[in-house]
Amino acid sequence: MTLRAVKASAPGSLMLMGEHAVLRGQPALVCAVSKRLTVKLTPRTDETIVLHSALGEHETTLGELAPHDSFRFALGAIRALREGLAQGFELDIRSEMSHVMGLGTSAAVTLAVLAALRHAQGLSIAPEELVVPAIQVVRRAQGGVGSGADVAASAYGGCLRFHAESTEVVQLPTAPQLTVLYSGSKMPTPEVIAVVEAQRKAQPELHARLDDLIGDAVNRAFEAAARGDWPAMGALMNINQGLMDALGVNNAKLAALVYELRADPKIHGSKISGSGLGDCVVGLGKAMRTEWGVPALAVQVTPAGVLAEALP
């Protein structure tokens, strides 16, 4: 099938609750954010594939798909659909998010490339068609780890509860306001997961109970959010933060930001967002304070998930 020129985009994402325990059968709360990553696909008449982004450029062929670390998620998405492709193309990748901040850029680029390739072939880009293959691509690129919660949020948009094993998604009818602060450093998620797993082996029974408590807090927070009870949800976020501390993924900088957010009268609760040991802290509510001494990310929850359109 001849490819057509298309543009596809996917939003970034932010974990609200359930980190680490989501890898153990528990639910997570995650949302899509207003910063997007966009991919423009231009068909070629040969088998050459050219990738452009702020991270650099890479040229390969459809048959070879030579690896390149900066493009491992995009290349993984191409590899997943390679059997249906008969010609090369150029991908121009542009992001409103920095890849060093934890806003789910890996999931977003994977989804955007999958959506672009499918739409270029006239295939459906419905979220349920994209989530499972995108999760598979992300996990392969990350050494087999990753819950897929960020993929689900970017695919569906809005705020949702997600189960990794079933990939079940239940969306919230209303979205919370958020204040997001970047701590100034980030440890790669697979490395943080390895830290937690090492501690889990030392205390397996305690960690199993922590997982259950985190899952319980997530379900209670989902119920509170569904009825618009943000103070109750904030209190549960604070509880989840204590459980993340017990998992060993907090540090002094993150802890200071968590408590600075809680001191703001407009914040109902706050916690680490993502795997921890760096990256972002999220507060439930729009803070009155504007200066924090660290970057405050101008994001809000967006209802728009993955999108694609044909280009003239």
The reply to whether 21 and 165 lie within a common domain is yes
Maximum pairwise Cα distance, the chain: 60
Average pLDDT of span 160-177: 96
pLDDT, tens only, 2-33: 999 999 999 999 999 999 999 999 999 999 99
Model pLDDT, residue 143? 87
The reply to whether 293 and 305 lie within a common domain is no
pLDDT, tens only, 233-261: 999 999 999 999 999 999 999 999 999 99
Nearest CA to 22 among 117, 118, 176, 145?
145
Distance, CA of 159 to CA of 169 (rounded, Å): 10
What global pTM score does this model have?
A: 0.94
The reply to whether 158 and 271 lie within a common domain is no
Give me the CATH number covering residue 59. 3.30.230.10
The reply to whether 197 and 98 lie within a common domain is no
pLDDT, tens only, 252-299: 999 999 999 999 999 999 999 999 999 999 999 999 999 999 999 989
The reply to whether 150 and 100 lie within a common domain is yes
The reply to whether 87 and 236 lie within a common domain is no
pLDDT over threshold 80, residue 135: yes
The reply to whether 255 and 136 lie within a common domain is no
| In contact, 281 and 166? CB cutoff 8 Å | no
Domain of residue 234, residue span: 178-297
Task: Count other C-beta atoms under 10 Å from residue 37's C-beta.
Answer: 28
The answer to whether position 1 is within a domain reads no
